[in-house]
Homo-oligomer: A and B are copies of this chain.
Amino acid sequence: MKNVDMIVKAPHFYTMEGDGVGYRTEVAMVVDGGKIIEIAETGRILANYKGAEELDMDHHAIFPGFIDAHMHTACNIMRGLAQDTNHWMMYGLQPFDNAISDEERDVGSYVAIIEAIKAGTTTLGDYESKMDNVCHFIEKVGARGNITQTIRAAKRRVYQPGELYEFDDELGTESLTRNLALYDRWHNKAGGRIKILFGPQGADFVSPEMLLKIQKIVKERKTKIHMHTQQGDRETYQIVNRYGKRPVAFLESLGYLDESLMAVHLTDCSDEEAAVVAKSGASMILCPGSIAIIDGIVPPSVAFQEAGGNVALGSDQAPGNNCHNIINEMKNVALFNKIKYGNPEVMPAWRALRMATIEGARAVGLGDRVGSLEVGKQADFIAIDLSCPSMLPIFTYPMRNMVPNLVYSARGQEVSLVAVDGMVIMRDGKILTIEEEDYLKTVSRYPAGIGQRAAKEFFEINGTNAQFMAEGKL
């Protein structure tokens, strides 16, 4: 009998090994030192191991924890304040974004992270200008963080229509220096759960020289570039007018398309442009709900996959999605693509699940550590309660319906346990590592002040939502 940290027993394991979902039954999983050390027939496991903790997950299925590859959790302080409008950033977000403080961004982040974990996310791909406090929170709560800090040289001021952004090298250098400092403080910290990536906001926001400088830094440090790429007609306009090429072609000519790039959105890409990115070895991050709400567009993730690329899912931000729930994004990517192609066979449930787990892990540079339940990987896993009405009834023969029910019917509350590095951080709807209620209560102190500061600009802009307020529609 070998003493180990944990034995996980459950009737169903979806390991995501191979090219499907890696279903296994009548097995148990052994966790020690934060890693999966064996998955084998239950009787043999119980004969050979004694677990300090034994999780008996009757009527549950075990899955790898979900990867949310692209989040701006700091924006959660503005949840629900910017959707249902054209020119989302200017007419929706801007009055509030101009009004909020760093402290308010942080308390918004904490709630978003709690929301995401409770819906089964174990790896948080968070991205914002100042990430130290989020790193501290992720360390404390026990999740995994793939953290990026914004690098930007374009001056923040009002630009005339058609005007090219003005680059300020000092701004760019300063933000790059801060990203480097974050890297030095946090990369591989929190027991290795935190990785630091580099975040040029987009090819339109920094000079080519700085893009290349960042690439060199990233390659030396064996980390990744996490960059919004061909994310809309505004970016395309800037790049075409500056360099005479569309963004993907510009990045290709710069030598920027390779495995160190995580290309976020590709909203304004043709299938052919997506294929160029995919074939380079770069990965794609797709935020289906956010891009549907903000732009009414279904980006070319299917073309990207057909060209051999890996695609991860992201929840993006809460004033234009409006949630951080990867189960929701799995549903979205499957349904939106069935609609886009007019074909119910496009993007079946199991493919969406792979994007949320193993394919997502590969896309964000963590494919050797998480995303599947395999010996040697970190023990990031979740348990789905199969006795919830939304999952019932459960069939195993002649067809298993757990994956379709998870993707199309589940909502998040079916996640009854979340573990990262073998530590249970959420159980039965409660985060175990922090006083969750304190964070949920704290955030409610801020809307009154933000509202006061944002009101003048909100009413002056008089966007869709201001009109809805005037008409009694909100």
Contacts and interface: CB of A to CB of B under 8 A. Distances in A.
Nearest to A347: B84
Contacts of A452: 397
B79 A393 contact: yes
A398 interface: yes
Interface string A84-99: 1110100000010000
A95 B397 CA distance: 12
Interface stretch (A64-72, A173-181, A439-447): A439-447
Interface string A119-150: 00000000000000000000000000000000
A411 interface: yes
A296 B341 contact: yes
Number of copies: 2
Interface stretch (A20-28, A45-53, A254-262, A364-372): A20-28
Interface stretch (A182-190, A223-231, A269-277, A400-408): A400-408
24 contacts: A80-B395, A80-B402, A80-B405, A83-B348, A84-B349, A86-B343, A86-B344, A111-B389, A112-B389, A292-B338, A293-B408, A295-B342, A296-B341, A325-B390, A336-B339, A348-B464, A350-B474, A395-B450, A395-B451, A398-B451, A398-B459, A399-B451, A399-B458, A399-B466
Interface of A: 18-23, 76-77, 79-81, 83-86, 88, 95, 108, 111-112, 114-115, 118, 289, 292-298, 318, 321-323, 325, 328, 332, 334-336, 338-346, 348-350, 387, 389-390, 392-405, 408-409, 411-413, 440, 443-444, 446-448, 450-452, 454-455, 458-459, 464-466, 468-469, 471-474
